[in-house]
Structure formats: C-alpha cells, structure tokens
Structure 1
Amino acid sequence: MATNRKGGRNPKLEKATHRYVFRLTDSDNAKFQTLFEQSGLDNRAKFIVSILFERKINSVMVDKGAMEYCTKLSQFFAQFRSIGVNYNQIVKILHTNFSDKKTVYYIWKLEEHTKELAQICRDVLMLSKKFEAEHLVKKGKL
C-alpha cells in the first residue's frame, strides 16, 4: 500500500489534543447561550476559547422596533414617490384632455389634496425626529 495521501482534508499544523469539561447551572447556561448568540460565532468551542484568551468578539444587537420603524418609513417614502409620479401623469392628462376651465378647477382640487399630503409629510418628519431623539440616539444606535 502507498503511504501518499491523495484526498481528504489537509492535516492541521497544531492539533488540539487537550480537552476540558465543565458544568453550568440553568441560569449560567442561559447567560452563556445569550453571549454565544450575540457573538455571531457558529462554534461553541471557538467562542469559549475566544472568551478565555480575551480575543475580540463582535456582537450585533438588533433593535426590532428601530428596524420596523426604518422599514415602515421606507415604505412610506416609496408611496410618496409613487404619488409624485401619479401627480405628474394626472396634470399631463388634464392639460391634454380637458378645457382650460376644467383643467384649472381640477388642478385646484389636486392642489388642496397636495397641501394635506404636505402636512402629513411634515407630521411624519416631526415624529421621525422625535423617535430618533428618544430611542435611537440615547441608545447609541445612530
């Protein structure tokens, strides 16, 4: 038989041969699990070694409320952009299909609704600033 290896994984330069076992209480295990999940590592052994030798561990905290806020705000602004596109199309159709008198009347009605939309936009902006000041900046998330 030949001793040359042709397949498989390359052997490690320094094998880990020493093994340690320890036990945790339920509350300690809950803390351990939380820290492990926050670390983002996929291997508990690597996590424990990182903790023991004080290697840097990156942990990511996700605030679901802030995430939902950003999602809803993005959806709102997407709707706002689509309203702007529709606004331009309506004005173009009014000028091409109606008399000047009717066009002026319908544009006036459209302008009234636009004022309401502008007020809603100001309210959203004010609420956004309030949310950021109370929830995001205090927690150091921005």
Structure 2
Amino acid sequence: MPALTTMLGKALGAAAEHPQGWLPDTVTEKTLAQLRDLGYVPAEPGRPAITLKGRLALLSRPQLNALTTAMSDGRLAPNVAWQTSHRLARWHLVVFKDAAGNSFPDDADTGSGRPVRHAFRTGLGLAVATTAPPRR
C-alpha cells in the first residue's frame, strides 16, 4: 500500500472521524481525484466517503495488529497501548465496554488505576481487519 501524503492522510483521518465517513468539504478536487484513483473513496458521484481500503491505509502497524489479533469476542488484547485503542475509537473501529456490556466512547481511565472499560472491535473494525492482507 502506498504511503500517504500529509494532505491525503489529513483528509482520510477527518473522514474516518466523521460518523458517516464523509470527507471534509474543504478537500480539493486534486486530493479527491488522488483518493479516488487509490480506491480510498468511491468513484461514484455524490458525497465522498472513506472506503474500507481508505481506512486500512490510515492504520499504523500497531493499529492494524490490534484489530487483526482481537480475541474471538472482539476484545482487543490487553497489551494494546491506550493511545492505539483511543485512536481506533476516534475512527469508529473500536468501542469501549464495561463489565455489563454497555458501550462508551472512552475507557474511563482516571490515571489512578486500571481502566474500567475495555476496547472491543466494532463491526466496522472487523470489516477493516478482514480487508487487511494476510500477515507475513
């Protein structure tokens, strides 16, 4: 997968944070054309949104590993760094759950003890993980 330029990365990052995955209105036609050429947004007319391939292109190796090595119930491994799980949550690829299974946008970590919520892969996170090429 080609490395993202700063402009492409910013556009995809903003789209990944949007609840519907829409690209910002400020994206230039040149950037939009590049994203379409790479398959990171669909070529169809209408409001451009990030594709699974585009979400996959955003992921660092630790973020991808966190998604692809989740437990069978979707819970991320306990050794996943909080920075990784929080970024994945901002991109709607994981959600935090308490012991009762209630979903939250964060882990409720106060810094004075272990977080009371754990990161679980979302349906979108699973779709991105299964889009990833096999690990070598």
The TM-score range, normalised by the shorter chain, is: under 0.3
Q: Which has the higher contact order (CA 8 A, sep 6+)?
A: 2
State the TM-score, normalized to the length of structure 1: 0.26
**Per residue, is there more helix in 1 or in 2?**
1
Greater fraction strand: 2
